[in-house]
Structure 1
Amino acid sequence: MQNKPSKGILLVQLGTPDSPNTSDVRRYLTEFLMDGRVIDIPYFNRTLLVKGIIAPFRASKSAAIYKTIWDEQTGSPLMHYSLIQQKLLQEELGGEYHVELAMRYQNPSLESALKNMESMLLDSIRVIPLFPQYASATTGSVIDKVMKIMSNWQYIPEVSFVSNYCEDPLMVETFADNARRHSIESFDHILFSYHGLPVRQLGKVDSSGALQCPENGCDSCKQTVNKYCYLSQCYATTRAIANKLNLKEDSYSVCFQSRLGKTPWIQPYTSDALLDLANKGKKKLLIFSPAFVSDCIETLDEIQVEYAHEFKGYGGEEVHMVESLNDNPKWIQSLKLMALNES
């Protein structure tokens, strides 16, 4: 008789709508954007903005985009690869471990995943948010929600969190391997495009309020690794991948995508970077998106469709995207080491 698992691993992704229908997309957007760590303004103002403007007007447009990447059999790419990662990690860890998957927003919910783990009376739970770089709006939100849910448990097992893995060797190696398939030397320039954040959120890591972050980040954060600064970790990931590929400093640059609203976000914006490169005569670009461990709407549509169209409109010719980690065996080994606390 096989022994019951005694250790739990909880993988947490951002989330995806249950379907590409407008109603499901609206529900997803509402839950996501109503998180006070995502849109960090007073609750009343956030409610008016999200439920009165963004969700009603953006849902149908987003639904149309989701339909272009949705597979009838496997659903959203994010869910597809997340389930594969869960399955492969479970196989790697064996029967002593139970690997659960949850989405921070929508399904499978953190509530349902943790309820299942609670019933197993596990000795320990290790939470791995599937975001390489720490940000309050992603990893911070996951940790916050997990702690709130577990605070109601009658017993609390040993709990640990992986807060970031921005320079994880196997993650870096996987991105580098994926890039080599594209014949790097054939491109005029390489962009590292990360998900953006409002500038004000960078400064909030200092509870004293003394830290003031410029829109394009502090020079020190671009050169050193601050374990609580998202911008610093994005540059750390970039340096690690560039060093692995022996890229020259003038052959690549960093930018940030997915702005929302008129408030300043981290710069340079990806759209501005595309225009600048086109004006400099660059014709063929290779784009990394190392904030994402699974291909999703931000990579498959925003980069491969939207930004490719923009670049061609500016006079460029080609945009190619480096695939995310997805189901690559090296990435699964990276997750295994994190699960075992050996990374």
Structure 2
Amino acid sequence: MAKKGILLVNLGTPDSPSTADVKRYLDEFLMDPRVIDINPIARTLLVRGIITPFRSPKSAKLYQAIWDPKTGSPLLHYSLLQQKALQERLGDEYMVELAMRYQKPSIESALERLKTALVEEIQVIPMFPQYASASTGSVYEKIMGLVGKWPTSPNISFINSFHDNELMIETFADNALKYNPETYDHVLFSFHGLPQRQLVKADHTHNHCLKSSSCCETLTDVNRFCYSAQSHHTAKLIAEKLNIPKEKYTICFQSRLGNDPWVQPYTSEIVAKLANEGKKRLLVFCPAFVADCLETIYEVTTEYGDEFKSLGGEHVQLVESLNDSPKFIEALAGMVSPPAP
């Protein structure tokens, strides 16, 4: 019986924390027109003329700070564990492959392995709980561009998002329980940021995004594919699971780039605001990430932690990501449709 192929795709990571490898990764990532969605000439000048030459050495130092001498990149390490665990959970009727949208293991090589194995169909699971054009949408485009060149291809399906997956929500909640959330002054749900213009582009009604600043706070039929609305919904579900009252948590967005307005409020500004209000202990979730990486391990724990302390705070505690939690592997398995008889 032919196997069904499962392709897990995460964002990507440099091959090493060297400046050259980080530059290569940033160049591929930021040159994606879905990531920096501006005029191609302007994008090239911005990325290759300004961002990567100046940012690569700085980013390399950050990667060096989180790089494990034995397992290397945390994102790749946990992604490989997820692949292995899902393969074991699904069994021999499936072939589970892992790819990164940028750098290695490449999507092209993973697809070639699935094609060589003669799988009867391929189900793609972009490892981004909330849909965004710059992440999930980019994966769609890359895969269809490659498979579209094949003389023949199997059926291909995609998981659009899993922002409200019950087992995923439970995993984040379980990871937080060991820190006793009720003992913290405030809880942050910090999601990866996006330029505001990308949310407006995703509004097919062309007016919903412009009606009010609170349009993302409730998930509806109109904004159900909106990254910000899905992020708010994820945070609310985790808060409800842990009985965190609304006044005790804030939804915010990190990792902005450039001077254009991004989705707000910004995590850095919220951290400063809470410190100025006299808050001493913060608990931080990053529910846009399924594996711990630079944005969680370093940006939250070190950058925001140091900033918070410099303003009078005492401690910022990161809630670990989903990583290879058995419950999250079960969540992935639940997304997989059974092979054809």
Q: Give the counterpart letter for 2:166 in structure 1.
A: P
Alignment of structure 1 residues 190-229 onto 2, 5 Å? 190-207=187-204, 209-210=206-207, 212-213=209-210, 218-225=213-220, 226-229=223-226
Query: Aligned pair count?
Result: 337
Deviations 1:127-164 (A, max 9, x none): 00000000000001001111111101111211110010
Contact 1:134 1:227 in 2 (8 A): no
Which residue matches 1:287? 284
The structure-2 alpha-carbon separation of the partners of 1:305 and 1:341, relative to structure 1 and needing over 3 Å to count, comes to farther
Give 1:143's aligned residue.
140
User: Residue type of the partner of 1:248?
Assistant: P
Q: Which residue of 1 aligns with 2:54?
A: 57
Partner of 2:36: 39
TM-score relative to the length of structure 1: 0.95
Aligned to 1:334: 331
Which residue is equivalent to 2:173? 176
Task: Tell me the C-alpha RMSD between the 2 structures.
Answer: 1.5
Distance in 2 (alpha carbons) for counterparts of 1:209 and 1:50: 29
SS in 1 for 2:216: helix
Query: Which consecutive residues of structure 2, in runs of 5 or more, have no partner in the other structure?
Result: none
Partners of 1:159 and 1:6 lie apart in 2 by 13
What secondary structure does 2:114 align onto?
A: helix
2 CA distance for matches of 1:206 and 1:231?
11
CA distance, structure 2, for counterparts of residue 246 and residue 213 of structure 1: 32
Counterpart for residue 6 of structure 2: 9
Aligned to 2:301: 304
CA offset at residue 207 of structure 1?
5.0
Q: Residues 28-74 of structure 1: CA distance to partner in whole angstroms, max 9, x if unpaired?
A: 00000000000000110000000011001110111111011111221
Separation (CA, whole Å) in 2 of partners of 1:340 and 1:306: 41
Amino acid in the other structure paired with 1:11:
L
The answer to whether structure 1 residue 316 and structure 2 residue 313 are counterparts is: yes
- Rounded to whole Å, the distance in 2 between the matches of 1:122 and 1:27 is 32
Asked if 1 retains the 8 angstrom alpha-carbon contact of 2:208 and 2:215, the reply is no
Counterpart CA distance in 1 for 2:228 and 2:296 is: 19
Out of 294-303 and 202-211, give the one that drifted further.
202-211
Of residues 94, 98, 102 in structure 2, which corresponds to 1:97?
A: 94
Normalised by the size of structure 2, how large is the TM-score?
Answer: 0.96
8 Å CA contact retained: 2:5, 2:122: yes
User: Equivalents in 2 of 1:133, 1:13: separation in Å?
Assistant: 13
Cα distance in 2 for residues equivalent to 1:98 and 1:154: 22
Q: Which amino acid aligns with 1:10?
A: L
Mapped contact 1:191–1:253 kept (Cα < 8 A)? yes
In the other structure, the counterpart of 1:325 is 322
Question: CA shift at 1:341, angstroms?
Answer: 7.0
Residue identity in the other structure for 2:317: H
Deviation at 1:123, TM superposition (A): 1.1
